[in-house]
Every structure is written in structure tokens, then in C-alpha cells.
Amino acid sequence: MKKRIFTIALGFALAISAVTAPLTVTATESKQKRPTEMEINYAKPIQSNEIENWPQGPQVYAQSAIVLDIDTGATLYAKNIDEELYPASITKVMTVLLAAENCSLDERVSFSHDAIWGIERDSTHIGIREGEVLSMEDCLYGMMLESANEVCLAVAEHISGSVEDFVELMNEKAIELGCTHTHFANPNGLPNKKHKTTAHDMALIAQAAFKNETFRQVCGTLNWTIGATNMSGDERHLNQHHKMLKSNEPYYYEYAVGGKTGFTKAALNTLVTFASKDNRNLVCVSLRTNGAQYYYDTAKLLDYGFDNFKNREVRSRGYKGDDLLFPSIFFHTECDTSCDTAEQYVTMPKGMKLKELTTSTAVDNGRITCSYSLGDVPLGTVSTTIPATMRNISLADSAASRIVLKEQAALAETVADTPQTNVFSSSQTSGAMKISLFNSLQPWQRGVLAVLVVALLFYLILLITSLRRAWRRHKYKKRREAAAAGTRTETKTADASSAAETDPTADETSAADNETDRNDDGTFTSEETNTADTLHSI
């Protein structure tokens, strides 16, 4: 009986295991094959790699990443740069920028109850007490180095009177800088569903911040000490959190000069990094990466930006290599605007020449701006002041263009009302088309065309002058040859006459010989002559 029960139990167990084993294997295999969020992000496409003739950028684990040239504003690397994500503490880049622009470093900032208790207690802070007073300089280092959230609230109240008004100022500044997908809800980056930005917008904010001398000094500092205050006799030592700036860290990057880290559970790791090499300045923004991987990603992206691109300085007068700016604007003028465009650059892939880029010009308030692009990708703009003489010419040209356009419109209405097919109307239409074609040219193109026409006329004048000179030389040569021939004939005649005068005997002898020799022509011979002489004597 026991043996039968044991057999039934064993069979039942085997049946259950046979049914559940495939399900367990399937669940395990499914769990192994399911990629992580970082792996999914790594495989996402890179939009900048789709640009024709553009250097191919590396794959990174960040969900969104960008490399921007600070000097020209050119986007060198783009991966989901317009996707709205949480920025976390890199929000403080904007907060520090506004504080540097609106305050002096020695201003005193008082910490209110709301500033101290308006943050989550487990968020980063430097232990400031209610009623404590710090200098604005200490506040800037507290926000950038230690990412102190209570300091952000106190600075916001100091500048705008309330955090809400300061947040409005942040959003206005973002719009001013060209941000299109950014909305700030607080000055420190703590979690808020309405607090979002994009990699591209954050790069624009970082670009503006890096151009502020105070911000550059603060974001690149490794250590700072806050001295004794009105409520604390102890020193507070602040340390840089960005490990790519520290030479003793494995993530150290020799060209990094500043940056800001960020982390929340909702945003994961975010990072802004500034780097300088060979007189070039880049900023890299990485959003939503897990752990220290964002340091490796940032190093790869910065190397890509430095190794594959170059900055070309554009001059407004004359050539510098293959670079020429506004060729028709400064023809026949003595102005020198080189200093006006000094240190203005265009970013382009290495091996590419400036003339291969697309350019467009615009004139506003006496300045002309030339924008360079590769396809639809802007690579930089250069602007300079238009000389007064050329400005007057430009205004006159614009007025003339408007008159021509009015005449063309009137002509078009006349042709539409009274259609004609004769040769005269055809010539009028052809002339109008030529005028329209000329007016469709840009000012610098018309200038180049005018110079070419002048050069052609000058060449024709030189050619005609040369031909006339050649014809004159030919006629002069003929006259000289004729005169020389006449002189030679007169010389021969004169020689013959002089010879006859100097030897008359020879002529008489010659005549006698001629008479003696005559036999057949009826003249006397020499014997007959002698006989005649004898008879004459008798």
C-alpha cells in the first residue's frame, strides 16, 4: 500500500515538473533577452550622422546628448537633442548665470525661513542656518561646487524678491537665449513635472554662461572655503563634484575646464562639461545616463568634437587662404574692417574649405551679417559694419530696385490688359525679364558682375589700343622701306654721272671703237676712214 502511494506521488510530482519547467525556462530566457534602458538608449540613432559629408559621431549611452561649439554656436553632435527631459541640478547653470549678471560678488545674501526649509531634507545642502548671511561670491561657489539647494532659493529671493518671480526671470532668459523646449519651475532642479529642458536648450544656456567671466571662474574652481559668518564660527570647505576636472580621478579629462553635475531619481545622471583645446571651446550636455558612464560618454564626445572639426577665422577684407567675406561690399573702398570681425569664426569639418559652405547675408542697422551653413546645419555667423559710403550706395540701390519693381508691375498690368504679339512688345518683355534677373541677384553678386563688366571693357580697350599701335608700326615700316629704295636708285645714278665726268678719253675711245666696229650698219671702217683722210689732204 505504501509503495503504491509513493508511486502515485512520484508520478504526480513528475507531471507538475513537466508542466512548469518550460514556463520557467521561457521566463528566464525572456528576462535575459530583454534589453536595459541604457542598451536601448545606446542603440538610438544619432541625427548628426545623417548629415551628408559630416564626420560620424560615436554611440553613447545617454538618452540625449549634444556637443556645441561655444564660439560659433555650431552643433557638432546631435542625439535626440530636442527631447524634453528632467535636467536635475544642471539647472543651477542658469541660476548662477543670472546671479553673476545681476549681482556684485560682495553683496550680502540673507537666508530666510522659506529658503532653509523649502527644500527636501535629503537633498544636497551646505547646512546654512535661518538668518545666516553669506556673500554672493560664497553663494555662487556653494551652488556650483556643492550643488546647495537652499542657497539657490536664497539667491532667488535676493534677486527677485520671491522664488516665483525669479523662476519667471529664468524662463524669460531661456527664451532670450533661443530655448524653445524649456520650462523651469524652480531654481535648483529638484523634481517637478513641469521642470523640463532639452540637450539643445541646455547647451544654449551653457554657451551663454561660459561667456560670463565670473561664471567661468566659479565653474572651474576645485575647492572653496566659506569663512566664519554671523551665525557660524566654523569654516565650510566646498569641493568640486565634477570628476573630469580632478587630476587624481580616473575620469580626469585634461581639456575639461568646468562643468556641473546633476542627479535625481527621475532624471538619473545629467552632466554639463566645458572643454578648451587649441583655442577652441566646446560644451557637452548629457541627459539621462546611469552612473559614471556619463563621464566616458562625455570624453568620447569631446574628443570627437576636437578631432574632427576646425574653426576658421573669417576676414572682412581680402583673402586669407580660401576665405573671403562679402567680396562686393568693399570693392574700391579704402576702409579696413578687419578689426571689426576679429576672432569671428566658422566651424567646419576638417578637410573642408569655406567656399564649399552655403552663405546668406542680411543687413540691419548699418551692419551686414553673413551666415554659413552646410545644408541645413548652421556653422557660424560673421558680421561687420558697412562703411558710410557703401551704406549710401546700398540705400540708393534699394531705392532704384523699388522703382524698377514698380515699373515692372506697371508693365505687367499693361501687357495683361492689352496683349500684343509684335516684335516691340517681345523686346519690352525681354528687357523686363533681364531687369528682373538683374534685380534677383544679391548686392554682392551685382557688385561682382559690375567688376567683371568693367574688367572686360578695360581688356577690350587695351586690345584695340594694341591693334592700332601695331597697324601704325606696320605703315611706318613700309614708308621707311620705300624711302630707302628711292635713296639707293638716286645713289646709283649719281655714281654713273660722276664717272663720266672724271674720264672723257674713255668716252671718246669708246665712241671711236663703236665707229670702228660698225660694218653692217652703213658706217665707215678704219681703212675707209684713212683713205678719206688722204684724199682730203691732197
Class of residue 135 by CB neighbours under 10 A (exposed 0-12, middle 13-18, buried 19+):
middle
Instruction: Give the C-alpha separation, 62 to 294, whole Å.
Output: 7
pLDDT of residue 35: 87
Any idea where the domains of the chain sit in the sequence? 47-309, 314-386, 389-446
pLDDT of residue 214: 97
Amino acid identity, residue 254? E
Closest CA relative to residue 226, chosen from 134, 303, 335: 134
Tell me the pLDDT of the chain (538 aa) as tens digits: 555 665 665 565 655 665 555 545 444 545 567 889 888 999 999 999 999 999 999 999 999 999 999 999 999 999 999 999 999 999 999 999 999 999 999 999 999 999 999 998 889 999 999 999 999 999 999 999 999 999 999 999 999 999 999 999 999 999 999 999 999 999 999 999 999 999 999 999 999 999 999 999 999 999 999 999 999 999 999 999 999 999 999 999 999 999 999 999 999 999 999 999 999 999 999 999 998 999 999 999 999 999 999 999 876 543 333 334 444 444 333 444 444 545 688 999 999 988 888 888 887 777 778 888 998 899 988 877 766 555 554 454 454 455 555 655 666 666 555 554 444 444 554 554 455 556 656 677 778 888 889 999 999 999 999 998 888 888 888 888 888 877 777 676 666 666 555 555 444 444 444 444 444 444 444 444 444 443 344 3
Instruction: Give the C-alpha separation, 321 to 314, whole Å.
Output: 10
Catalytic residue positions, numbered:
89, 92, 147
pLDDT of residue 403: 52
- Side-chain-side CA neighbours of residue 442 (13 Å): 13
- What pTM does this model have? 0.67
pLDDT of residue 415: 55
End-to-end CA distance of the chain: 213
| 3-state helix vs strand vs coil in the chain, percent to 5 | 50, 15, 30
DSSP 8-state assignment for residue 252: -
Closest CA relative to residue 285, chosen from 393, 379, 203: 203
Hey, how many other C-beta atoms are within 10 angstroms of the C-beta on 278? 8
CATH number among 1.10.3720.10, 3.40.710.10, 3.20.20.70, 3.40.640.10, domain 47-309: 3.40.710.10
Q: Are 306 and 280 in contact (CB under 8 A)?
A: yes
